[in-house]
Structure 1
Amino acid sequence: MNRMESLAGRPWPRAVTDTALALLLTVGCLALPLAMPHGGPDLRATDAQWGVLVLLTTLPLAVHRLWPLPALLVMSAAAGVLQARHYVPDLSGPDGTSIGPTYLAVATAVFLTAARTTPRVAALVGGVLIPAAAVTEAVLAPSGHRVAALLTEAVLLIAAWALGRLARARAAIRDQALERAAALEREQAADARAAVMAERARIARELHDIVAHNVSLMVVQTIAADRVQDRDRDKAHELHGAIEETGRATVTELRHLLDVLRTDEEGPGDPSREPPQPTVEALPALVDSVRAAGLRVDFSTSGEPVELPAGSHLAVYRIAQEALTNTLKHAGRTRTALDLAWEPERERLTVRLCDDGPASDGEPVRPPLAAHGSGHGLVGMRERVGAVGGSLHTGSRPGGGWCVHAVIPLPVPEPRHEGHSA
């Protein structure tokens, strides 16, 4: 039981509870001699030894949460010495039964030990400590009152022990109920997400059919417009208007499709929700950022840049980003060369990044390039290059270090055909 409930129903930390109980019982034990009536039992006068024994009987309760069993043993032993030295009234004697703060302190420690410890420790307290305390009480009691003292002590401590185990059981039942409720809530949330994803997939299939139909219709209308352009310009103009209208409708449906495919887990800061995506022009800023992290990068470009599709722009940037990150992660602050070669005559863009390896003599540890993967690291680079129709080669250099060589195809301008289509 990690926390005790306060009277207001709000949880209190165990440290606060234990300290408050220890102080309360200490005050009660120290005030006991003042509360004894005249003509009561003949007790020893209070002295320094009495004060030390009282503190040993009550103050260990303040650290009970840390050492339950040792605190209980110290308190029980000190209470027994107090009674043996006749500093406190007998539990059962000629003057009747007297359950003072000393016995209440021991009973409180038994309750907390039974509530907080494991079943094995609780069984040890109930099977060994309580019978030993009851027998000790019977031995110290006056003649003729030993049986009454034994029964009173046993009933008091067994009741405290039983209440502690009951509190422990209730706390376990409560924790299990909370865990089951949390599991049920997670299951319901998972079912709801699955239902939402299934509905989104159904809507996406329907929108896909609509988009495919519209694109096919645009192709047919374009062919028809090209064939009638010379014979009937009005008809061609009408077809061009229909193509424009169909194209606008297709773009709208595509936006709806993308909105449907977005998941709830994509927060406002998700990269897919933050246009525009990085392009080749952002590579200098990327190089500056990794230089600030300690990587020595020589960046160079050659050839005449040409227009690239957005997908190729993003692929080039992400390949360079992943390669630089891997170099910094596996080779440390080494020297790296990033070269961008535009080759319009060969219809390709070459991205090459080579590092000198780590400063030590050991080879950098590189993750293997698997045939299939989750889209991370080198596998992700291969997927990006493949998506734009390019190729990727990675491997160690003969003189040490690592190289990443990617080839991105450049777009080829399509010739314009005048008149009828072929």
Structure 2
Amino acid sequence: MELMDSFAGRRVPPAVIDAGLALLFTAACVVLPLAIPPDGPELRVPDGGWPPLVLLSALPFAVHRRFPVPALLVMSAAAAALQGLRYVPPLSGDGGMSIGPTYTAVATGVFLTAVRCAPRTATCVVSGFVPAVAVTEAVLASDGHRVTTLLTDAVLLVAAWALGRLARARTAIQNQALERAAALEREQAANARAAVMEERARIARELHDIVAHNVSLMVVQTIAADRVQDRDRHKAHELHGTIEETGRATVTELRRLLDVLRTDEDAETDPNREPPQPTIGALPTLVDSVRAAGLHVEFSSTGTPAGLPAGSQLAVYRVVQEAFTNTLKHAGHTRTALSVAWEPDRQRLTVRLCDDGPPPEGRSARPPAPTRGTGHGLVGMRERIGAVGGTLHTGGRPGGGYCVHAVVPVPSPDPHPHEGHSPHDTHPRPAGR
């Protein structure tokens, strides 16, 4: 079948193959009367009934792919009519066996039916159709040649059926081999990715140890420089230079660590071109964007903003962003309130986002959403807030709706900031503090 469906290494459309078979056998049946020698069997001269039977014996190939069994039955009936009306020579006669294009077309139809049909249909063809056609041909044969015609037709059709099933089995084996090869390739790719990730993790651990060692060394050198700041400025200068070199080396190792941990998708982009990470100051812009998406947001901020580490600010921004996303996904265009409260007396930042839940039925075409609280978004929020030492509480509201409540600790400012001593300081900081 692959040979029939391809030509010169190129795939041929199925419709072209079927049309080609139909035209080929039609032409062979048309020229058959001209190919019979003068001393051959006496046949009926083609008349008005001959063209329709010729067309019915070959043209069904054009639709055999879609209707294999009906097409085969039509071709067989037309072939039997051509033989019964003596338009074509019989399979077996006084001049010997004669397997012309009409019988070859029926055998080809059996072959294609065995290839294209399910095993049950193919079994019905070989157990019911083939004996029926062979018996019909034997009955239409002349006296003394019925047994020979029966055996010849039966062998021809059974052989065509067997070749068809063999071709189908061969194609199935090839498809299974291709599927196994594809599965093996995917498995090898997965193993390669796993090996790469394992190696990245090992390198990351090693680089983590190097960075931790360098940071510890910088702390020790800073303490030493602090102690000798007033006694030996030259030595302190050397220590500061060493701290600078160690810091640069640490930054280099950190960049290597990030390169190792970066995924293949991240590596395709230049990190230098990425915008800076968002902070709490970008929340108004985020609120404007979700308002443009159709969410009704009331935003309020109380208290005096305090110095919050960049990691904490990023965690707060991402949690608010994820909460807005969940609201749009599960509640639709509902009313939402976002409050950011700076509480310096309690050294914390409180962020609260609550929505009123889905609008009443009939006001929103939003499809039913799954119960909240089971997705990976909440897990990611808790991980982010927990990583900066905060807490996260989520849950439904008694009157309907949903709330996300995050509390992030705010570090207390250093009452005695130290930027390095000057030679004019009269009260140097005690060594070791």
TM-score where L is the length of structure 1: 0.89
Spell out the pairing of 1:172-251 with structure 2 (5 A cutoff). 172-251=172-251
CA contact (8 A) 2:114 2:165 kept: yes
Q: 1:278 and 1:22 mapped to 2: Cα distance?
A: 69
Amino acid at match of 1:330: H
Q: Deviations over 1:368-406 (max 9, x none)?
A: 546xx8xx2222111111111112222222332222121
Q: Which stretches in structure 2 are left out of the alignment for 5+ residues?
A: 363-367, 419-427
Counterpart AA for 1:416: P
Size of the aligned set, in residue pairs, is: 417
The residue aligned with 2:280 is 280
1:310 matched to which residue of 2? 310
Bigger drift between 106-115 and 190-199 goes to: 190-199
**Aligned-partner residue type, residue 311 of structure 1:** G
**Structure 1 stretch displaced more, 210-219 or 166-175:** 166-175
Q: Is 2:396 the partner of 1:396?
A: yes
Residues 377 and 225 of structure 1: is their aligned pair in 2 closer, same or farther, counting only changes over 3 Å?
A: same
What's the counterpart of residue 90 of structure 1? 90
Deviation at 1:249, TM superposition (A): 0.8
Indicate how the Cα distance of structure 1 residues 358 and 221 shifts in structure 2: closer, same or farther if over 3 A, else same: same
Q: Aligned partner of 2:429: which letter?
A: G
State which drifts further: 137-146 or 124-133.
124-133
Distance 1:191 1:330 in 2: 38
Residues 201-246 of structure 1 deviation map (CA, whole Å, 9 limit, x = unaligned)? 2222221221111111111111111112222222222111111111
Displacement of 1:61 in angstroms is: 1.7
Q: Judging changes above 3 Å, is the alpha-carbon distance between structure 1 residues 52 and 254 closer, same or farther for their aligned structure 2 residues? A: same
Letter in 1 for 2:192: A
Percent identical? 72
Does the alignment pair 1:77 with 2:68? no
Q: Relative to structure 1, is the Cα distance of residues 2 and 336 closer, same or farther in structure 2, using a 3 angstrom cutoff? A: farther
Could you tell me which residue of structure 1 aligns to residue 43 of structure 2?
A: 43
User: What are the Cα deviations for residues 107-156 of structure 1, in whole angstroms up to 9, with x where unaligned?
Assistant: 11111112222333223222322222222111111111212222221232
Q: Which residue of 2 aligns with 1:62?
A: 62
Q: What one-letter code is carried by the residue in structure 1 that aligns with 2:417?
A: R
TM-score between the two structures when normalised by the length of structure 2: 0.87
Q: Residue by residue, what CA displacement relative to the aligned partner does 1:46-92 show, whole Å, maximum 9, x if unpaired?
A: 45543333333222222222222232222222222222232322122
Q: What are the residue-to-residue correspondences of 1:100-179 with 2, within 5 Å?
A: 100-179=100-179
| Residue type of the alignment partner of 1:295 | L
- 1:131–1:273 distance in 2 versus 1, CA, 3 Å: farther
- Output the CA distance in 1 between the equivalents of 2:80 and 2:287: 78
Report the equivalent of 1:416: 417
Distance 1:289 1:19, change over 3 A: farther
Q: Distance in 2 between the 1:271 and 1:47 partners?
A: 83
| 1:273–1:78 distance in 2 versus 1, CA, 3 Å | farther
Q: Secondary structure at the match of 2:392?
A: strand
Q: Which moved more, 1:312-321 or 1:169-178?
A: 169-178
SS in 2 for 1:342: strand
Q: Which amino acid aligns with 1:202?
A: R
In structure 2, the partner of 1:268 is: 268
1:317-356 matches, within 5 Å, as: 317-356=317-356
Q: Which amino acid aligns with 2:214?
A: N
* 1:357-396 pair list within 5 angstroms: 357-360=357-360, 367=371, 369=373, 376-396=376-396
Question: Alignment partner of 1:153: what SS?
Answer: helix
- Matches of 1:270 and 1:152, distance apart in 2: 75
1:191/1:394 Cα in 2 relative to 1: closer, same or farther (>3 Å)? closer
Write the distance in 2 (CA, Å) between the matches of 1:264 and 1:331: 35
Shift of 1:367: 4.1
Residues 131-184 of structure 1, C-alpha deviation per residue, up to 9 Å, x if partnerless? 222221111111112122222212322222222122122212222222232233
Contact 1:338 1:352 in 2 (8 A): yes
Match of 1:6 in 2: 6
Which residue pairs with 2:423 in the alignment?
Answer: none
